[in-house]
Amino acid sequence: MRFELYRDAAGEWRWRLRVQNGNVIADSGEGYVRREDCEHAIALVKRSGEASTVDMTTKIA
């Protein structure tokens, strides 16, 4: 797996997470004016392995 950092057509910074077979499994969903902000977002995603999983189908009333 690898994170790819790139500029979009509008010149904003974005990231995507690509797996071994070439498929993109996640992306930034928004552009960042500053590269540092985009890199910070990548760092947050890297730390998200600690996040809990919530089954939202059990939350539907």
Residues near 37 by Cβ (< 8 Å), separated by ≥ 6? 13
Taking 90 as the threshold, does the pLDDT of residue 59 lie above it? no
Whether the full predicted model's pTM is greater than 0.85, yes or no, is no
Q: Indicate whether 56 pLDDT > 60.
A: yes
Q: What is the pLDDT of residues 7-47, one digit of tens each?
A: 999 999 999 999 999 999 999 999 999 999 999 999 999 99
Q: Using CA atoms, how far apart are residues 11 and 35, in angstroms rounded to an integer?
A: 11
Domain that holds residue 54: 2-58
Cα 4–Cα 28–Cα 60 angle in degrees, nearest 5? 135
Q: How many domains does the chain have?
A: 1
CATH number for 44: 3.30.160.160
Q: Give phi and psi for 35, each to the nearest 5.
A: -60, -40
In contact, 8 and 31? CB cutoff 8 Å:
yes
